[in-house]
Amino acid sequence: AWAQGTFPQRPVKFIVPNAPGSSIDTIARILSTQMAQGFAQPLVVDNKAGAAGALGVEVGRTSPADGHTVIVASSSSITIAPLLQKAVPYDPLKDFDFISLIALLPNVLVVNPALPVRNVAELIAYARSKGSNSNMASAGVGSTSHLAGAALQSAGGFQSLHVPYKGGAQGVTSVVAGETDWVLTPAPAAMGQVQNGRLRLLAHSMTTESRPLGDVPSIAQTLPGFEFAGWIGLMAPKGLPPGAVDTLRRTLAQALQQPELRKQFDINGAVPTPSTPQEFRAFLARDIEVHKKAIEVAGVKAE
C-alpha cells in the first residue's frame, strides 16, 4: 500500500470549493479515485461551492487539522478570491499547510464552430471587425476565465463585450449555444465539448515550449510572451501532523504516476505537476503577483 502508518484512521474528505461538473471538480474526482487505492479508508469528494470558492476553502480551513479533511485548492479560490473579496477571512500564504501541487491547467481558447475563425489571429481580426457585437463568456466577474480573457484582449489589442455567467460550465455552454463568441477557460471545462465537435479549439495559454494538448498551438505563438495558466493543488488546515502531510503527498505523487489517471488528465488537458510543500508555497507566491497584474488590466475592484 502507498499509505503507511496510522493515517488515515477514517475516511478522508476532499473539499472541492467548486460546483459539480466544474474543471476543478472533474480533476478532483479523477484524482480521488486513484488516491483512494492507496488508502485503507474511503476518499470522499464534498462539493462546497459559493463565494467564488471562498466558502469551501473556509470550511476546510476551520476543519480539524488531522489530515482527514483536505482542500482541493485552485487559483480561483486561493489566489483570486482573497484579491477580490474583502470579506475573505483567510491569508493564502499563512493560514494553510501546503501538501502538493496536483496539476497545471492551461486555459483553452474556444469558439463556436459556426464562427468564421480558426486561429488566434483570425479571432482578433474578427473581434476588431465586429466591435461591440463581439462578446466573450466567463464564469463570472473576477473568475479565471474573466481575467484570462481580459489579459488576452489587452495583449491582442481588441475588445469583446464581457458576458459573465454563474460558473464555468454555463459560460462554456453559452459558447456552444452561440449566445457568446468565445471563452478562454480552464481546459477541463471545455475539452469534452471540443472532442464532441461542439466547440472549436484555437489555442492554449501556456508557454510556447509547453505542449499540454499535443499539436494545439499556444497563444504565445501569435502574441509573444502571453501566458495565463491555472493550477490545482492540495492544501489543508494549518497544523497537520508531519506524518499526515507526508502520507498525503506520497499517495498523491503515486496516483499521478498511474497510466489511467494520466490518460484522463490528458483528455482534460491537465498537466500532472507533483511538488514538495515548499515548492507549492513558492509557486503560489508568484501566482498571486501574476493575478494582481491581471486584475488591474481587467479593471476589477475588490468588493
DSSP symbols for 66-86: SSSEEEEEEIIIIIIHHHH-T
Same fold, 12-105+230-298 and 107-221: yes
Q: Rounded to whole angstroms, how far apart are CA atoms 40 and 287?
A: 35
pLDDT (0 to 100) of residue 107 = 93
Q: What is the 3-state secondary structure (H, E, C) of 141-176?
A: CCCHHHHHHHHHHHHHCCCCEEEECCCHHHHHHHHH
* Contact assessment for residue 72 and residue 56, using Cβ atoms and an 8 Å cutoff: no
Q: What is the pLDDT of residue 2?
A: 42
Nearest by Cα to 39 from 252, 273, 274, 262:
252
Largest interatomic CA distance in the chain: 63
Architecture of the 12-105+230-298 domain = 3-Layer(aba) Sandwich (3.40)
- Would you give per-residue pLDDT tens digits along the chain (303 residues)? 444 457 899 999 999 998 888 888 999 999 999 999 988 889 999 999 988 899 999 999 999 999 999 999 999 899 999 999 999 999 999 999 999 999 998 999 999 999 999 999 999 999 999 987 999 999 888 888 999 999 999 999 999 999 999 888 899 999 999 999 999 998 888 999 999 999 999 999 998 787 888 899 999 999 999 989 889 999 999 999 999 999 999 999 999 999 999 999 988 888 999 999 999 999 999 999 989 988 988 888 888
Q: How far apart are the first and last CA of the chain?
A: 47
pLDDT of residue 1: 42
pLDDT tens digits, 250-292: 999 999 999 999 999 988 888 999 999 999 999 999 999 989 9
Q: 123-128: list long-range contacts, CB under 8 Å, 24+ apart.
A: 123/182, 123/202, 124/156, 124/157, 124/158, 124/222, 126/181, 127/153, 127/156, 127/158, 127/159, 127/160, 127/181, 128/158
Query: Exposed, middle or buried: residue 209 (CB in 10 Å: 0-12, 13-18, 19+)?
Result: exposed
Going from N- to C-terminal start, the domains of the chain cover 12-105+230-298, 107-221
**φ, ψ (nearest 5 deg) of residue 242:** -55, -35
What is the 8-class DSSP label of residue 187? G
- The whole-angstrom separation of Cα 226 and Cα 125 is 18
DSSP reduced 3-state for 243: helix
Nearest-10 crossing angle of helices 259-267, 23-36: 170
CA angle 298, 165, 171 (to 5 degrees): 95
Q: What does the angle CA 189 – CA 107 – CA 152 come to, to the nearest 5 degrees?
A: 130
CATH number given to 107-221 = 3.40.190.10
Number of neighbours of residue 249 by Cβ within 10 angstroms: 19
The pLDDT assigned to 5 comes to 52
Contact 183, 172 (CB under 8 A): yes
Res 202: pLDDT? 98
Residue 173: name the closest of 184, 149, 189 by CA.
189
Q: Which three cell numbers stand for residue 230?
A: 491555472
